[in-house]
Structure 1
């Protein structure tokens, strides 16, 4: 039986190319370990996020390529993930958080908070450490969406301990106000409150902190982009032309503040008939895909 070497395995794995980075997984340093024993090969591939959409395909392709090497009798490919963080400055409010991602929209009622909750829970289910900050001071909805309205977070050593739901650490001004109490605050108080939600909450070590921003270009979005080094911003919109027009103003704000636009999500695109399965567009308009193309930003999904 031919002898299998580490180089044989690495040569085979060089045929797998990361679809986003456009380089093979060996040169990217994703292959962390190769163990060979009597023809049985174990390879450990470490991705940059546990939520990689091609993780399963990559594992299947790695197993197929290794199995084709002469002398290989068994294959075990283990997929892991290590989220790589941003550089941390001494004055950073979130030194243990690797990525801060803002979820924004130009207008209200487009489902931004729904997208924020779904994204946070999906990342947590994939194995990431996730926090969700509801920065909508005037209309906090995250507590109700996650079924934890009426709960009050604990305070330890002057820091607020986030509520845990579905594997996500959650904080909202809604936990600190009565359900029917209005936050009648002007700009400076809003900006100060947003800062406190970052600085005075014990977020701990997180792979991702998602920030559900209020719609528009007011104090909360501006303060967030100015005091926290954002990894990027996800824009949520509906297919309507008016939604695209207003979303463009949010994009302009974040670009002016040097926050990268990660992409555009289209919500409320169509209605699926429960009886026949026919899909019907809900709103007229060119759609978020066209808007994303004009921006030069990725279209993340509908």
Structure 2
């Protein structure tokens, strides 16, 4: 399997001539997509191991080369199909935007852990880090220095914990600041949705920036079919601001499916809960938006440590209350489904 495209090498025409002589010596021609392919060593070793697993093979020689421009263009065309990928009304991929009216409520932490929890439930999941100015998804998922591979004009996103990830942080050097205005932000979001090869995803999560500015409006226009999770802390002031992001989402035609209350309290050794940020904000926000509270995620040291280490708490400490709350959220979203009503299906007679 190609670790970036996640399809069999033979299906991608990356395997050329093969032979096996009477002495048990096998030869396999391997064509990489580009020069300097970051997964080259892994792919070559996988090919070698697969060949050695065939009965009668004693030795393997892998002849590594690179696709010609024509072969590369044919591959890109085949992967994309007749048109660039679109997450429009007829897509079978569920698009879920994680939003809030303000920063610091834990949208990125919720998004990253939710993505891994959905992947663990067998759903092919991707994350688009739409927070152009405050991108943090690569770090939270443990791939802060990852760079996408470009094949022609198609971008192959890195994979972390089984989740495909794309972020503007992968296209800038170090801690370089991004200072863009509306039109450029819109084009960037559009490119991330069309030029990135997401493949056949079950769920695409969007980590939106705080507020109701350019990116939220652009994604509302580009993805009017998206579902929206509104994240807030229990604090009343945070809930009031978060309500505005839900209102804007509905104005663009998106569907608010629920509220996630983050930092809901810190469990104490004696069984009590220290409510550092108050209580009731999630319930009040859900009442105003007329949607359910899908999860209440408690304050958690392992959750914070996992974010710093790039090891999501749902993997590092699945028994932690925060991990269990996020896993329960993944289960709730998986059960909601999207339904087929009103969509055309890709069948012909």
Cα distance in 1, alignment partners of residues 263 and 109 from structure 2: 11
Cα distance in 2, alignment partners of residues 168 and 97 from structure 1: 18
Gaps of 5+ in 2: 1-82, 297-349
Which position in structure 2 is the counterpart of 1:94? Answer: 87
Which position in structure 2 is the counterpart of 1:239? Answer: 234
Q: 2:282 aligns with which of 280, 285, 288?
A: 288
Contact between 1:134 and 1:212, CA under 8 Å: does it hold in 2? yes
Matches within 5 A, 1:17-96: 93-94=86-87
User: What is the CA deviation profile of residues 77-113 of structure 1, one whole-angstrom value per residue up to 9, with x for unaligned ones?
Assistant: xxxxxxxxxxxxx897236652111000110000001
Contact between 1:101 and 1:230, CA under 8 Å: does it hold in 2? no
When normalised by structure 2's length, the TM-score is 0.58
Which position in structure 2 is the counterpart of 1:259? Answer: 254
Which position in structure 1 is the counterpart of 2:291? Answer: 297
Instruction: Give the Å deviation of 1:301.
Output: 1.4
Cα distance in 2, alignment partners of residues 94 and 299 from structure 1: 26
Which position in structure 2 is the counterpart of 1:33? Answer: none
3-state SS of 2:209 partner: coil
Q: In the alignment, does 2:270 pair up with 1:270?
A: no
Contact between 2:264 and 2:279, CA under 8 Å: does it hold in 1? no
Q: Structure 1 residues 258 and 144 mapped into 2: Cα distance closer, same or farther (>3 Å)?
A: same
Q: Structure 1 residues 160 and 97 mapped into 2: Cα distance closer, same or farther (>3 Å)?
A: farther
Q: Structure 1 residues 178 and 132 mapped into 2: Cα distance closer, same or farther (>3 Å)?
A: same
Which position in structure 2 is the counterpart of 1:279? Answer: 273
Instruction: Give the Å deviation of 1:279.
Output: 1.1
Cα distance in 2, alignment partners of residues 170 and 218 from structure 1: 23
Instruction: State how many pairs are aligned.
Output: 212
Q: Structure 1 residues 248 and 268 mapped into 2: Cα distance closer, same or farther (>3 Å)?
A: same
- Give structure 1 regions of 4+ aligned residues with deviation exceeding 6 angstroms: none
Instruction: Give the Å deviation of 1:147.
Output: 0.9
Instruction: Give the Å deviation of 1:254.
Output: 0.7
Contact between 2:115 and 2:205, CA under 8 Å: does it hold in 1? yes
